[in-house]
Structures are given as structure tokens and as C-alpha cells.
Copies of this chain bind each other. A is one copy, B any other.
């Protein structure tokens, strides 16, 4: 049995590079040799013990690579093909999938639903921060990469871009909408880009770090608000002439950003939430118009599957959105512990790191 290197969760505070067997491939699987991957904010939650995973699990859910081997039942792909797979790898056959809720895919034939059950890589099965990864239900999850696109150009597709765009999509951003996006980390930046892509005419991006606000401007923000200098709620109401925004996108996962989103919404507006929350949320009754405001609050877990990946790569290929500047640092897989250290502490102006085995 051949061996490979993989970044595994050992215990709270420790993700370390280990030697592991190269995964076996079942009839529906593909084995992908990773050529580039990255670290997600969620991986940092795992590192800190804030999101529980099994000890020894390989972390990472953003694979770019080459098909090394295909399961006996996998048709329509060939070994050697360059591919990505989404962070969410739906089975395709669950009741959740058949309701269009692939991210809530469950292993249970009776129900076919599990909260966030579609997220398997680095959560319930071994992930991508390794030399090889086993992709389950490969026929629905392998998305070929066009030759003209580099690994780094498609590195945001599996999670960051899919999640960020979904913030605008689930918010049902329409032509001429005013949109506020709270927090401009990688997800929030993609939400900003997504709002622009859907025709919003006024996009207001909120953060504190100048490099993030600058990047937000490049990706589509018409106004940037530094919440360390002004009250963002008051500023957004001022910018929208007292009316409030049609859609507010939460991209951080805190009470403060969630509540601010509600407070800047016009009546009948939508709060589109992308953050991962670690404690209970409060809905202030006044911001909620005592329940009479026709408000919508919607949360979205990263949409996955090969069709989603195909579409996101098409957006990049057509030049509609350019996220390549988001890769600010590059590491070898051997250096992944240093990459975690940098990324987890948000040092050196990092947006995203590229990890190459």
C-alpha cells in the first residue's frame, strides 16, 4: 500500500502533517492527486476545536488536481483529467438532493436529510490537504478544468466563490438592488462580487482592514465602510437616504454583524447569512418590526456538485470576475503548519494561501 502526506487534525490546536495510506477507491469514487489546495476559515475553526471533527481526520475541502484512478462504475471521465470538486459533494440520490437541497444531504435512506450532511471532505471523510483525496460519488462531483485556467484561478471555486456568490443568490439580489455586505474576508469579498454579478446597483462593503476594503472596491463595492471609524448602520442608512438596503449579507458569523444586517434592511428586505455562528443569536424586536416587516432571513451552505463548479469556472473563464489577487501567499504541503499559523492569525495581509503538494 502506497503512502502519502496529509494534514490531520490531532487535537485542539494541532493540525499536523502525517504519513497516511493513499485512499482506496470504491466503485463510485475517484482518486484525485491534489495539485493545489487551500485553507478555509472553517479549517481554522476545526484547528481551534470550535468545530468538532474526528481525531486523525485529514482536513481540507477545496481540491484542484488530476484524476489518478476511477472507480469501476464511474463513466464519463478519464484518468489524467484535470478536475476540481466542490467542498460539498452531494450524493445525488438522497431526498435532500431531489428537493434541491444537496448541502443537507443525508446518508439515511429513510429520510435522506442531515444538517450540513453534504459537506464531507475534511468533515466526515478525509479531506484535501494531502497528496491524494478520494472523491465520493465522482460522477456528480468531478468538474473538468479548462486548459486555459490555472490551478490558482479555479482554487476559489470549491468553496469561497460558491459560498460567497450564494449569499447574493439566496438574497435574490435583483437589478437595481442596494446591497450591504458585512465583513470582507474571502467569503464576504465573493459575496460582494456576487452581488455585482447579479445586477445590484449599490453595494456597500463593511470591514475594518484597509486591504480588504480596497479589494472590496476592486470586486464591485460602490461604497466601503470602515466600522472602526463610523457606525456602519448609521452610515448605510445615510448612504441609502434613510431607506435601507434590499439585501444585507452576513459573512462573519457574529451577533454584531447579524444584528447590523437586520438594522440596515428596508421593510420587506432579506438578510442572507453565510456565517458560521458559535453562539445563540438575538433578533431585536424593533429591528424585526415586531414580526410585521415581511423580513426574510436565509442561511446558505456552500452549493456543490459538478454543475455548480462548471458554472463558476465559466464565470472566471469569461473574465466576469477575477479572484486571482485573493491568493496572497503560497506554501508547499510540507509547510502547511506554517501556512495555518499565518492564516489563522491573519498575518501579513493574507487573504488566501495556495498549498501545493
A23 at interface by CB-CB < 8 Å: no
With an 8 A cutoff between CB atoms, is A41 at the interface? no
Interface residues of A in 331-353 (CB under 8 A from B): none
**Distance to closest chain B CB from A233 (angstroms):** 15
- Alpha-carbon separation in the docked complex, A222 to B116 (Å): 30
For residue A229, CB closer than 8 A to chain B, the reply is no
The total of chain A residues at the interface (CB under 8 A) is 101
Contact between B307 and A98, CB atoms less than 8 A apart: yes
- CB of A114 within 8 A of chain B? yes
Contacts A109-B139, A201-B314: A292 and B115 contacting too (C-beta < 8 A)?
yes
Residues of B within 8 A of A112 (CB): 307
A318 with B273, Cβ < 8 A, contacts A293-B299, A296-B297 known:
no
Would you give 28 A-B contacts (Cβ < 8 Å), ordered by A?
A93-B141, A95-B307, A100-B100, A101-B267, A104-B294, A110-B241, A110-B243, A111-B242, A115-B293, A116-B267, A116-B289, A175-B197, A176-B314, A196-B320, A199-B320, A222-B318, A276-B291, A277-B290, A277-B291, A278-B285, A280-B284, A281-B282, A281-B283, A282-B283, A283-B283, A293-B299, A296-B296, A297-B297
Quick one: which of B169, B297, B299 contacts A292, CB cutoff 8 A?
B299
- Tell me if B198 and A175 are in contact (CB < 8 A): yes
The answer to whether A300 and B308 have CB atoms under 8 Å apart is no
- A4 and B318 CA atoms in complex are apart in Å by 51
Residues of A bordering B, CB below 8 Å: 26-28, 51, 72-73, 75-77, 90-104, 108-117, 119, 137, 139-141, 165, 169, 174-178, 194, 196-199, 201-202, 222, 241-244, 253, 266-268, 273-285, 288-301, 305-308, 310-312, 314-315, 317-318, 320
Most buried by B among A174, A194, A278, A297: A297
Q: Which residues of B contact A196 (CB under 8 A)?
A: 320
